[in-house]
């Protein structure tokens, strides 16, 4: 089973979460690799996923790299390049033909434009994968989760689960209560509440999805 990993925003920890899932699955002997279809600004995320995928070739992990650290559509305009969705889809199918599980990490949030009239949401819809939603655990997270979840469902996709990522050491009231209410509000399983600096997760949760 493969998954599409998206976030409520950029910087919420998608690569961190994807790496942890990959490492946990591979440590249990499962054939899992990461896929970062588009990277902008640098290839650090792709490098991390390559290492977590057993040293997979960087161009297999990340077929399209744009130098400018903005949304891919904007970077493409600035660099006189076009992000071709067919390249992104072909890259996934290439990996999926060789590996049991491919974790596809989106760029930024759900509605980030990749090309003219083509967004991260459209890529996920074309891949037809269940979605794992990563959210930074902070004030405002519930609103961002509900908005993104509604957009995922509007594309006809299933959200397999939510991961709350604790970005700070100290927890305030919003951070504490988010964990307790997110399932009731969404009807989606809370797969993990990652504490700041946690470097492992329970792989069995993801194997049972």
Q: Measure Cα distances from 48 to 11, 61, 195 in Å.
A: 15, 10, 20
Q: What is the C-alpha separation between 119 and 43, in angstroms, rounded?
A: 20
179 is catalytic: no
Closest Cα to residue 48, out of 36, 37, 40? Answer: 36
Query: Alpha carbon 183 to chain centroid distance?
Result: 20
Q: What is the C-alpha separation between 21 and 203, in angstroms, rounded?
A: 7
Which residues are marked as active site? 36
């Amino acid at each position: 089973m493969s998954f599409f990993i998206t976030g409520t925003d950029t910087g919420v920890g998608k690569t961190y979460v994807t790496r942890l899932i990959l490492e946990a699955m591979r440590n249990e002997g499962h054939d899992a690799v990461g896929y970062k279809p588009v990277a902008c600004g640098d290839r650090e995320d792709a490098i991390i996923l390559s290492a977590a995928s057993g040293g997979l070739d960087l161009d297999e992990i990340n077929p399209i790299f744009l130098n400018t650290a903005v949304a891919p559509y904007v970077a493409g305009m600035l660099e006189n390049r076009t992000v071709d969705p067919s390249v992104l889809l072909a890259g996934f199918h290439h990996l999926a033909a060789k590996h049991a599980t491919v974790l596809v990490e989106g760029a930024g949030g759900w509605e980030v434009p990749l090309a003219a009239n083509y967004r991260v949401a459209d890529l996920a819809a074309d891949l037809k994968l269940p979605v794992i939603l990563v959210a930074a655990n902070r004030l405002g997270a519930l609103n961002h989760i509900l908005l993104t979840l509604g957009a995922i469902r509007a594309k006809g996709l299933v959200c397999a689960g939510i991961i709350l990522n604790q970005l700070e050491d100290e927890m305030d009231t919003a951070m504490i209560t988010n964990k307790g209410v997110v399932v009731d509000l969404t009807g989606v399983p809370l797969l993990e509440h990652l504490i700041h600096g946690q470097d492992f997760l329970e792989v069995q949760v993801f194997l049972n999805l």
